[in-house]
Amino acid sequence: MHIYWASVLAIPKGIILDIQNLIRGFLWCNGDYKRGKAKVAWVDNCLPLSEGGLGLRSLEVFNKALGGPYGIPIKADVSWGWRKLLQLRDRVRPHMWFKIGNGEATSIWFDYWCDYCPLSRFLSPREISNAGYDTCSKVSDLMVHNAWNWPSSWLIKAPELGLVPTPSIQMDTSDVLQWRDSNGSISEFSVKKVWEAIRPRGEEVDWYRMVWFSHCVPRHAFLLWLVMRNSLKTQDRLKQWDVGINTDLNLLRCSLCDLQADSREHLFFECSYSTQVWATVRRLASMDNVPPVLQNIVLYLQPMAHKRTAKSIIGKILLAAAIYFIWIERNNRLFKDIKKNPEELCDMIMITELILLMVSLSCSDLDRLEGSGVASCSYGAPPDCVAISMPKCLSGLHLLMYSASYVWLADIAAWKFFKANWDVS
């Protein structure tokens, strides 16, 4: 329904702002939007995933892309909504090119059909009318025997007209409207092409496939996205107006290690607490040799981020889960005075990863993971209760989990999960 109204009306800015505030309230405030709570600017949220955004569509830009009356003149008595739609022409018209057929549908003055267009910039309406033509003239009106019939007064006033290429007129073929992108490529017109031409743009980022993929946990991926953008409100980024004038920022300390103010690099994973967590859980993805430094981990995962291999999927899930639970632990210590030791946090990360893989991957995916060579069966046999009657997907994933030192806890958690969902007696 909103696409229909956006295609027939120019939506007022007040309504667009109200809709944007509803979305921003959902993203940042868990309810009504409060000014200053957003960690990322709205224009950046509306960038594609490959440019570091969330892939949201800006309703204002989408409204412009859907508005289609680009070739109609504006009259004095038109309504406000129709006038707003017609005003979009200056933004879109340079991308709308005509392929000349018989030349009877293409304006000689205002449409784009060669590199010199629009030709209206060379002559005034009075000069056009003095030669016996008007502003509604078509390409075919100025052609005689497949050659231009420029009045001499025009060529004196605007010598550039003599450089305009002569189109090949085909009387049995109609003019065709096409879309020309910013690179000069010609294709059929579509709303998607308009959107790509007029939307805001950002720099390409090389980490987006590491954050967003089919098996990601949305809340984990969202937090990892904030981390990659360095948009979390860590203590090193706090300003005096964020914490109050009575707070001495020099006294702030990381709630995990109590040694220095926390920052993105410190929390992930240079802090002694998070280093211990990462050193334990990284073995799940055979990343034992990757240092506990966020930049090094990202550089390790980026080359394989686009692949659907076991190492890629497990590594991306593991990094997002580790960052998520460390951030939650940090906030729990700061605001709720609730603490967990590193071993408990490792258990949560590993069990979460195990259950996520079991739920999100199909049996064929699990078979592929089993045969990938990522995991090894070097930690002994599973508990008897698990080995009695193990479903295919559990047995396929079982080898994967034996690369961790917490295999017994993972096996018991997996057994409880499957016992609650399948008959394994």
The beta-strand segments (E) located in 167-287 are 176-180, 186-187
* Mean predicted lDDT score pLDDT of the chain: 80
In a structure prediction context, what are the per-residue pLDDT tens digits for the chain, which is 425 residues long?
567 777 767 788 888 899 899 999 999 998 888 888 899 999 999 999 999 999 998 888 888 777 654 444 445 566 666 666 666 666 677 788 889 999 999 999 988 889 899 899 999 999 999 999 999 999 999 998 889 999 999 999 999 999 999 998 898 999 988 888 777 788 777 788 888 888 889 999 999 999 999 889 999 999 999 999 999 999 988 865 566 667 777 788 999 999 999 999 999 999 999 999 999 999 888 898 898 999 999 999 999 999 988 889 889 999 999 999 999 999 999 999 999 999 999 988 988 877 777 665 554 555 555 444 444 333 333 333 333 333 333 334 444 443 333 344 444 455 454 445 444 43
**How far apart (Å, rounded) are the C-alpha atoms in residues 77 and 79?**
7
Two tokens at 124? Answer: 């005034």
- 384-419 tens-digit pLDDT: 333 333 333 333 444 444 333 334 444 445 545 444
* Integer Cα distance of 370 and 402 in angstroms: 11
The residue with tokens 């707003």 is 84
Asked whether the beta carbons of 273 and 262 are under 8 A apart, the reply is: no
Taking the alpha carbons at both ends of the chain, their separation in whole angstroms is 51
pTM, rounded to two decimals: 0.71
Please tell me whether residue 90 adopts helix, strand or coil conformation: helix
Separation CA 71–CA 86 (nearest Å): 8
Predicted local distance difference test score (pLDDT) of residue 364: 52
Q: Which amino acid is at 259?
A: L
At CA 88, angle to CA 85 and CA 90, rounded to 5?
145
Cα–Cα distances in angstroms (integers) from residue 114 to residues 108, 145, 177, 214, in the given order: 10, 20, 13, 44
Give the residue ranges of DSSP H helices in 96-187.
125-130, 152-157
**Number of CB atoms found within 10 A of residue 242's CB:** 11
State yes or no: cis peptide before 291, omega within 30 of 0: no
Residue among 188, 193, 191, 192 at smallest CA distance from 176: 188
Which residue type does 359 have? V
